[in-house]
Chain A
Amino acid sequence: AQKVTQAQTEISVVEKEDVTLDCVYETRDTTYYLFWYKQPPSGELVFLIRRNSFDEQNEISGRYSWNFQKSTSSFNFTITASQVVDSAVYFCALSYNYGQNFVFGPGTRLSVLP
C-alpha cells in the first residue's frame, strides 16, 4: 500500500530555534515523487519542494533544507532559525504510479512562538 506518515501532529518552537519535520513514506514503485507543501492559516497550499526517487541529493533553499534517504524511506524537512511566519501546517506527499496517484500525509502543525 502507498502511504505517507507524519508522526508529529503538532510542534511548538520558539523563534530562532531549528525544527525538523519528519516524513516516512511507503510505496512499491521504484519511480515516484515526493513533495512538501505548506498550508498557512489562509488555507492555500504552497509548494516547497519536489524530489524524484532517483535524486537522493539533499537540498538547501535559504532557511529550508531537505534530507531524502531511500534506505529509511524518509524525506525530512528542516527549518533553520524559525520565524513566526513559518507557523503553518506542513504536508508531505507522495506521487506514484507514474504520477497518476497522489497520497498526502496527515500534516504537522508547526507553531513558532515569538
Chain B
Amino acid sequence: ETGVTQSPTHLIKTRGQQVTLRCSSQSGHNTVSWYQQALGQGPQFIFQYYREEENGRGNFPPRFSGLQFPNYSSELNVNALELDDSALYLCASSLGSLLAVGELFFGEGSRLTVL
C-alpha cells in the first residue's frame, strides 16, 4: 500500500454534470498530481500541485480544475462532464521541490462513468 487514498472509488454521472474527486496524499508528501487513464491507455497528466499552488498542467481544458489544501490533500473538479471524460482518475503524491522530482506513489483511482 502506498498510503495514498482516493474517493470515491466508483461513480456514475450524466453528461453536463459536475464531479469532485478527492485524494489524501502520503504523510509528509508536499506534491500531488492527477492523471486521467482511459481504458487500455497510459495515464495522461492533468495537473500538479506543489505546496497548494498549481505548478504544472497537461493538455486539459479549464473545466478540469483542482485544489490542494494545507494538509496537502487534493481535489479534482470536472465541470460540464462529457462522455469522453469516462476514465480512471489517478492521484499520485510525492515529496518534491521546485527543481527535483520525487518518486510518485499512486492511489487506486476513482473510476468515473459518464452517461
Interface residues of A (CB under 8 A from B): 4, 33, 35, 37, 42-47, 50, 91, 93, 95, 97-107
**Per-position binary interface string of chain B over residues 13-34, scored 1 when its CB falls under 8 Å from any chain A CB and 0 otherwise:** 0000000000000000000010
Confirm or deny: B107 has a beta carbon within 8 angstroms of a beta carbon on chain A.
yes
25 contacts across the A-B interface (CB closer than 8 A): A42-B108, A43-B88, A44-B107, A45-B104, A46-B106, A47-B103, A47-B105, A50-B101, A50-B102, A97-B56, A98-B98, A99-B56, A99-B96, A99-B101, A100-B55, A100-B56, A102-B56, A103-B45, A104-B35, A104-B42, A104-B44, A104-B45, A105-B42, A106-B42, A107-B41
The count of residues in chain B whose C-beta lies closer than 8 Å to any C-beta of chain A is: 29
Which of A93, A101, A106 makes the CB contact (< 8 A) with B56?
Answer: A101
Contact partners of A107 in chain B: CB under 8 A:
41-42
State the Cβ distance, A100 to closest chain B Cβ, in Å.
3
Complex contacts, B2 vs chain A, CB 8 Å: 44
Residues 28-60 of chain B: 1 if any A CB is under 8 Å from the residue's CB, otherwise 0?
000001010000011111001000000111100
Contact A101 B105 (CB under 8 A): no
Interface residues of B (CB under 8 A from A): 2, 33, 35, 41-45, 48, 55-58, 88, 90, 92, 96, 98-109
- Contact between A99 and B100, CB atoms less than 8 A apart: yes
What does DSSP make chain B's interface, helix, strand, loop or mixed? loop
Residue of B nearest to A91 (CB): B42
User: Is there contact, CB below 8 Å, between B48 and A43?
Assistant: no
A91-B56 contact in complex given A35-B104, A43-B109, C-beta closer than 8 Å? no
